[in-house]
Amino acid sequence: MKQKIVSVLLTVAMIFSLAACGGTENKEEESSGNTEKETAEGEVTFPLDEKLTYTAFSVLHASTYDLDDSLPMQMLQEECNIDIEFQSVMSAELSEKRNLLLNSGEYPELLIKSGITSSEMMDYGRQGILIPLEDLIQEYMPNLTAWLNDNNAWQWVTSSDGHVYGLPCYELAITDWTPYWINMKWIENLGLQEPTNLDELYEVLKAFKEEDANGNGDPNDEIPLAFNGMPDFLFQYLGEAVDSKTYCYVEDGQLTFAPVSDIYYTYLEFFAKLYAEGLILDTCFTITGEELTAMGTANDVIGSNPTAGIFLTVGRDRDEDYKMLTPFEKGKYAIGNGISTGVFCVTDKCQNPGPVLAMFDTFYSQEGGVLATMGVEGKTYTINEDGDWEWIVGGEYGETVDEVRGNGTIQGTTAGPYIAPDIWWTNMSPKADPDEVYLNKERVRTAEYGVSVLPNMYYSQEDEDIVSTLFTDIRTYCEEYTVQIITGEKDLASTWDEYVSTIEQMGLSELMEAYQRTYENSLEMSQ
Amino acid sequence: MGKLSANRGVYMQRKERLWVRLKKDIKVNYLLYLLVLPGLLFYIIFCYVPMPGVLMAFEDYQARSGIFGSTWVGLKHFTRFFNSYYFWVLIKNTLRISIYNLVVGFPIPIIFALMLNYLNHKRLKKTVQMVSYAPHFISAVVICGMITMFFNKDTGIINQVLERFGGEATNFLAKPELFDDIYVWSGIWQEMGWSAIIYVAALAGVDPELHEAAIMDGATKIQRMIHIDIPSIKSTIIMLLILQFGSVMSVGFEKAYFLTNSMNKSAANIISTYVYEVGLIDRDFGFSTAVGLFNSLINMILLITVNKISRKVADEGLF
């Protein structure tokens, strides 16, 4: 009996080890085939004589639009004689699906608009799941190479191991945090001024609450501050430029972790006061974005709201009542550099990445950028006599601007493989998409106050491990505490010390050492 | 069960090998084996085949190197978990919800089945039973959507009713102290009818003569329940109780995850949601496997202990 069991177990073990061997052998074959083909192909001329097929993982824009069906991708695939089979998922499940896929071993050849983070890229790159692209870019992507060289931007796309694992997206550099919009019409109605510090902001929000700011005769239907999730937008107005990934700010070359600093005390104090006085939408931590939008578009009830573009919350009729609250101080307003990385990655399953990279290089020129972000002249946009461009709404590609953007461009939901062309923001006609024009104007206006906080952070493997181990727990605890303080469940003054010491116990000093080390190394490397 | 196979009758020779005996038995009772097959396959495919995956708990798992090739790190992940701030938070939350669920959720289906058993109107009995077990088939996602809607502060039906009667609208899902109640009672609503089925079946097997005799002696319905029905289904109750103890630490993941928001997170953060977050979102597979393995170990220890106790005290047990 026992012998039987042992032998069965052995058989099972053997089957497993065989399966494992089989797996790796296949992969080796693939990758060796890979290099041979590359050298044989050399330059790529489109259209290809023989149709090439690739598989790709991507996100559905607005949970509706498949990248595959978008006009630019359709055109490009046809022109190049390349067919990409997309597997697209909803953005809510993007990171889960992406990680499952990449870890299952059954992943596609390309990741396009997959939302992959830079630390994931480095991890998967190190494992050999993603292949280094720097040589391929130089060989197959003249447009992107030129752009990276001209803008001295290689540093922003390179991982700390010196490899490039993902292509970049470039758009206008805007605030690092969610922009904070305030209703200027209400401020005018009440004869107030735009706030220039936290106390004034408080006074304004209080006035929104107490008086009939929207002028409909009911002084009680105004919500001075509506948001959902964490109100981190306030980091823009606390007197230190805080980086949104690490939650650190720099003082004399030293990084400080904002959530345990004095400015965070101010942050908590401010929101606790607002909440206690009913100036914040009281369902802010449970309401969904859709519910908030429904509330905001139905009636003129929102006094201020942090969101990427205010028309997303209050609709396109009243968005110009709002403006992005002007930063209180120059140089203390964190902005990004406009570059997102990892919008296009190639896995080791891809035997012949050259042609598809050459195809996507199209989107990295001015004209290609137009195709990617605006579509085709005469189909999705026109240029009027002033030289400004506007969307064609009501035509073949949709009844609204949103539909045209979904069907006619590769923009939206996450950054994509393109550089936004200059014409996008220099010549957008106010007639066709006034809301976007207004948004861009506001972005440019506030970005002038901005400062880029950190260089591109090149984490070493150890530091990366430390950060990924410690940061999530610390951040989760910090959010829990924040919610408890804001809703008045805990008293700030009496629990603050305990909160700080808990975070210290959770390994703050180790985390900060890793950040500081990486910061100093990265400063050197990017010079 | 023993009776059944004896009736069906295959003569088992002691001396023959297991395999030979099994073959003979299969020939005779092949229909029974066919019935068992899907269940057996389920356990093989979903429980035994993935088992080598527990090795991940002891290594820095990397997809490329696989389960057998990743770097061995021993108990690193376990030490990290035991020292982590969330260790006690998770254990406390998991145990609290789970024990609450057990204490309230376990007797209710029994009481419900007893009540059903005394319904004389056949039609009514069937209808009640069907209506009560229908929610079991609704998926957790939908249930959570319904809960979120019903408890919505502004539009939810519960708050509407409360306000109608002069109460004050409350954001129920935002209160950590109410999370347990919402979780457990919605679970009871969903599963009560389904869990009662097994008791209803057991009650149907109670010898009617016992009841007749009791009625003759003038026993009330309550007395009959206590002295006839409950003792007759005692072994079923104990078996299910032991099984429930075996899953004390595994609070259903989906519901906890979908009902979580940043305000009730302090109460809703349980082991299974934590495993999901670190494992699938932060892709720390080794660590999350270690947490999951720890969870299973506790479950196993509980199961064995409760079984032992039950053997001693009630002379009933699973094994």
pLDDT digits (tens, 9 = 90+) for A133-155: 999 999 999 999 999 998 888 88
Where do we find the tokens 């060796």?
A32
Q: Are B285 and A16 in contact (CB < 8 Å)? A: no
Q: pLDDT (tens digit, 9 = 90+) per residue, A158-170?
A: 888 889 999 999 8
CATH of residue A398: 3.40.190.10
What pLDDT was estimated at residue B15? 63
Contact predicate B307/B319, CB 8 Å: yes
Q: pLDDT (tens digit, 9 = 90+) per residue, A240-277?
A: 899 988 999 998 889 999 999 999 999 999 999 999 99
A208 in any annotated domain: yes
**Which is higher by pLDDT, B107 or A449?**
B107
> A68-77, A209-218, A447-456, B89-98: which range is least confident on average?
A447-456
A38 in any annotated domain: no
Amino acid, single-letter form, for residue A255: L
Q: Is the pLDDT of residue B281 over 80?
A: no
Are residues A325 and A191 part of one domain? yes
Q: Are B69 and A20 in contact (CB < 8 Å)? A: yes
Are residues A355 and A319 part of one domain? no
What pLDDT was estimated at residue A36? 37
Half-sphere exposure of A74 (CA within 13 A, CB side): 9
> A207-211, A452-456, B179-183: which range is least confident on average?
A452-456
What pLDDT was estimated at residue A6? 52
Mean confidence (pLDDT) of chain B: 86
Q: Are A468 and B282 in contact (CB < 8 Å)? A: yes
Q: What is the mean pLDDT of residues B181-189?
A: 92
Which residue among B261, B282, B283 sits closest to A286, beta carbon to beta carbon? B261
What pLDDT was estimated at residue A95? 86
Mean confidence (pLDDT) of chain A: 85
Residues of B in Cβ contact (< 8 Å) with A100: 280
Chain B nearest-CA distance from A96, in A, is 6
Q: Is the pLDDT of residue A90 over 60?
A: yes
| CATH code given to domain B57-314 | 1.10.3720.10
Q: Is the pLDDT of residue B255 over 70?
A: yes
Are residues A259 and A148 part of one domain? no
Chain A nearest-CA distance from B143, in A, is 17
**Which is higher by pLDDT, A235 or B4?**
A235
Q: Is the pLDDT of residue A432 over 70?
A: no
Contact predicate A436/A96, CB 8 Å: no
Percentage of residues in chain A having pLDDT higher than 70: 91
Nearest-angstrom CA–CA distance, B177 and A423: 54
Nearest-angstrom CA–CA distance, A279 and A304: 10
> A180-184, B57-61, B152-156, B305-309: which range is least confident on average?
B152-156
Are residues A188 and A249 part of one domain? yes
Q: What is the mean pLDDT of residues A353-373?
A: 91
Residues of B in Cβ contact (< 8 Å) with A479: 262, 265
Pairing of strands B71-72, B59-60: antiparallel
The C-alpha R_g of chain B, in whole angstroms, comes to: 24
Q: Are A229 and B262 in contact (CB < 8 Å)? A: yes
Are residues A256 and A124 part of one domain? no
* A-contacting residues in B 73-92 (Cβ below 8 Å): 80, 84-86
What pLDDT was estimated at residue A8? 52
Q: Are A95 and B261 in contact (CB < 8 Å)? A: no
What pLDDT was estimated at residue B38? 95
Q: pLDDT (tens digit, 9 = 90+) per residue, B130-145?
A: 999 999 999 989 999 9
Nearest-angstrom CA–CA distance, A345 and A114: 9
Q: pLDDT (tens digit, 9 = 90+) per residue, A109-129?
A: 999 999 898 888 888 998 889
What pLDDT was estimated at residue B19? 87
What pLDDT was estimated at residue A457? 82
Q: Is the pLDDT of residue A83 over 80?
A: yes
What pLDDT was estimated at residue A143? 92
What pLDDT was estimated at residue B7? 46
What pLDDT was estimated at residue A320? 85
Are residues A464 and A320 part of one domain? yes
Are residues A343 and A324 part of one domain? no
What pLDDT was estimated at residue B41? 95
Percentage of residues in chain A having pLDDT higher than 90: 40
Are residues A471 and A409 part of one domain? no
What pLDDT was estimated at residue A184? 92
Q: Is the pLDDT of residue B319 over 60?
A: yes
Are residues A209 and A189 part of one domain? yes
Q: How far, in whole angstroms, is CA A359 from its chain's centroid? A: 24
**Domain that residue A459 falls in:** 180-334+454-525
Which residue among A99, A127, A286 sits closest to B173, beta carbon to beta carbon? A286
What pLDDT was estimated at residue A20? 42
Domain boundaries along the sequence of chain B = 1-49, 57-314
Q: Is the pLDDT of residue A350 over 80?
A: yes
A319 in any annotated domain: yes
Nearest-angstrom CA–CA distance, A310 and A302: 11
Contact predicate A218/A286, CB 8 Å: no
What pLDDT was estimated at residue B138? 92
Contacts of B273 (CB under 8 A, 6+ apart): B253, B256, B257, B260
Q: pLDDT (tens digit, 9 = 90+) per residue, B20-53?
A: 888 888 889 999 999 999 999 999 999 899 888 8
What pLDDT was estimated at residue A3? 52
Copy the structure tokens of residue A211: 């008086």
What pLDDT was estimated at residue B262? 79
Q: Which of A394, A420, A446 is the endpoint of a domain? A: A420
Residues of B in Cβ contact (< 8 Å) with A230: 262
Among B47, B85, B266, B287, the strongest candidate for a mutation testing the A interface, having the largest count of A CBs within 10 A, is B85
A435 in any annotated domain: no
Among B276, B282, B289, the strongest candidate for a mutation testing the A interface, having the largest count of A CBs within 10 A, is B282
The C-alpha R_g of chain A, in whole angstroms, comes to: 26
> A320-324, A408-412, B239-243, B247-251: which range is least confident on average?
B247-251
Q: pLDDT (tens digit, 9 = 90+) per residue, A4-36?
A: 555 555 454 444 444 444 433 344 344 443 433
B277 contacts chain A (CB < 8 A): yes
A96 contacts chain B (CB < 8 A): yes
Copy the structure tokens of residue A136: 């391929």
Which residue among A96, A129, A483 sits closest to B280, beta carbon to beta carbon? A96
Are residues A130 and A58 part of one domain? yes
Neighbour count for residue B252 (Cβ, 10 Å): 16
Confidence class of residue B124 from pLDDT cuts 50, 70 and 90?
Answer: very high
Q: How far, in whole angstroms, is CA A404 from its chain's centroid? A: 22
B66 contacts chain A (CB < 8 A): yes
A230 contacts chain B (CB < 8 A): yes
φ, ψ of residue A218 to 5 degrees: the values are -110, 110
Are residues A402 and A253 part of one domain? no
What pLDDT was estimated at residue A343? 92
Are residues A354 and A315 part of one domain? no
Q: Specify the number of domains making up chain A.
A: 2
Q: How far is CA A187 from CA A192, A202, A220, A237, B31, in A?
A: 5, 13, 16, 19, 80
Q: What is the mean pLDDT of residues B61-80?
A: 85
Pairing of strands A82-89, A52-59: parallel
Question: What is the SS3 assignment for A346?
Answer: strand
**Burial of residue B268 (number of CB atoms within 10 Å: 0-12, 13-18, 19+):** buried
A20 in any annotated domain: no
Residues of B in Cβ contact (< 8 Å) with A468: 282, 284
Pairing of strands A450-451, A333-334: parallel
**Burial of residue A169 (number of CB atoms within 10 Å: 0-12, 13-18, 19+):** buried
What pLDDT was estimated at residue A280? 93
- A505 → chain B, closest CA residue: B85
**Which is higher by pLDDT, B204 or B316?**
B204
Q: Is the pLDDT of residue A41 over 50?
A: no
**Which is higher by pLDDT, A426 or A494?**
A494
What pLDDT was estimated at residue A96? 87
B71 contacts chain A (CB < 8 A): no
Q: What is the mean pLDDT of residues A456-469?
A: 84
Q: Which of A374, A399, A420 is the endpoint of a domain? A: A420
Nearest-angstrom CA–CA distance, A248 and A240: 9
